[in-house]
Amino acid sequence: MSRIKEFNLPDLGEGLTEGEILAWLVKVGDDIELNQPIVEVETAKAAVEIPAKWAGRVQAIFHPEGATVEVGSPIIAIDTDPSAGPIEQSTTGAPAADLPTPSAASLAAVEVAPEEGMVEPGLIGGVAPGGRTAVLVGYGPRNAPAKRRPRKGGVPAQAAAAPTAPVQPAPAPVVPVPAAPAVNGNGRATGAVLAKPPVRKLAKDLGVDLAALTGSGPLGSITREDVQRAAAAPAAAEPLTVAAPATVAASFGADREQRIPVKGVRKLTAENMARSAFTAPHVTEFLTVDVTRAMKALDRLRERREWRDVRVSPLLLVAKAVLLAVKRHPMVNSTWAGDEIVVKDYVNLGIAAATERGLIVPNIKDAGRLSLRELADAMTALVQTAKAGKTSPADMSGGTLTITNVGVFGVDTGTPILPPGESAILAFGAVRELPWVHKGKVKPRLVTTLGLSFDHRIIDGELGSKFLRDIGDFLADPEAALLAWT
């Protein structure tokens, strides 16, 4: 059995097909234990830490941070028996212990690609820095020269992989070739600047000339730290040249545009919202409610000894109102299943949360069975977990009905889009002090606006209106509603 085991990216829930590597928690050469977290991966639903399936030593990492990897692709190689000694080079491309390092002369003979296509040293299938075989992930080594298009107006580059055995070259016409660049003290060609594409881009952004730097990386390659040090160093005094003022026309091209890759939570949200908006016929109704009594009830609740350490917010009463209204109108808590409607006796209450990763909707499982204190604790834990970016895919699966609190942004209400598979979503707006007719007189009262969107295939206007009215009645006078309904 091979000592080297490749760990593939697992399916982290609900048939996800890819994940983005946020951070590696280990590096090559580290000794790791079974179930030790080795990498943090962001899926379309959550950021999760993946534990190691084996104990051993990290032999190779196949994808850098920021890469998007398909489920089932290898992401790391682990030596499960590092005490057995060095690993011999095999024909399968397994890591070897002591591979020869490319000479400076061989590096000088390799033509360097332009900045847009700059690649690391090492031919495909040949030896790369670090003693490994340079291969594309998912493919075996290709023992063939890397083909390049000739430079415009120049001599075609002659790049070939090192032969495995001495071969007598055939007679060939002599072609004039430019002299090989000189080699500096680091053992690399002065004319062939070794730097990765991100480092080149950083140097270009900071105005640093790579050719003037001495690299501290492998084989004299230039690292991000080299560029940053050069940028931070005081510039040599240069003659001041005053250019004549010129009129520059406004540019409306790509240099003034930002392109953001659509992936992770944003990609999933876009797909879900588009699917929901164009499959479920939405209807939205609004109700403005005097919640002065509800806010006073919250104040009295906070003053009670057993509630002093509990987070009590208006959203707690809204959630309780929704759960009680569902008991009175069960059809609201259902799913359209083509030729049937699935009415659910449990409520997995979703709370939409805006995080740095985007909008997520974790849900409280079986929320209808919780007491008000248990509901408050569950909502607090849900929000804290979401803000920390630790919400698991399971916590965001299986929702049946959702509340979105747009009031925290100072918005009165909105027309929310249904999460796929749900038939209703409530928008809770900001609570404001407004003039309101109370007991025949205009007085300042605390007022909010509710917006209920529902699937008109399941919920008709009457049912949706009664459900929204009951939520409003509870928020207008929670004590009276509890006495009347329970």
Q: Which residues have a catalytic role annotated? A: 456
How many degrees, rounded to 5, is the angle at CA 229 between CA 219 and CA 116?
60
Q: Output the CA–CA distances (angstroms, integers) from residue 452 to 12, 141, 418, 461, in the order listed.
A: 33, 58, 10, 11
Measured between alpha carbons, how far is 128 from 238 in angstroms, rounded to an integer? Answer: 40
Amino acid identity of 76?
Answer: I
- Residue (of 358, 264, 271) closest to 67 by Cα position: 264
DSSP tag of 288 = E
C-alpha closest to that of 392 among 45, 9, 35: 45
The residues, any chain, with a CB within 8 Å of residue 127's CB and separated by 6 or more, are 99, 100, 101, 102, 133, 134, 162
Strand pairing of 68-70 and 74-79?
unpaired
Q: Where are the beta strands (DSSP E) in 375-431?
A: 401-404, 424-428
**Amino acid symbol at 103:** S
3-state helix, strand, coil in the chain (%, to 5): 30, 20, 50
Residue 483 contacts residue 327 (beta carbons within 8 Å): no
The answer to whether the beta carbons of residues 431 and 450 sit under 8 Å apart is no
Measured CA to CA, the distance from residue 123 to residue 106 in angstroms comes to 11
Residue 126 dihedral angles phi and psi, to the nearest 5°? -100, -170
**Exposure string for 330-355, b = 16+ CB within 10 A, e = fewer:** eebbbbbeeeeeeeeeebbbbbbbee
In terms of Cα–Cα distance, which of 299, 328, 345 is closest to 471? 328
The residues that bridge with 37 in the sheet, in sequence order, are 51
State the DSSP code for 465.
H
Q: What contacts 24+ positions apart, CB below 8 Å, involve 442-445? A: 445/290, 445/292
Strand stretches in 414-460, DSSP E: 424-428, 432-438, 441-455
How far is the C-alpha of 129 from the C-alpha of 144, rounded, in Å? 18
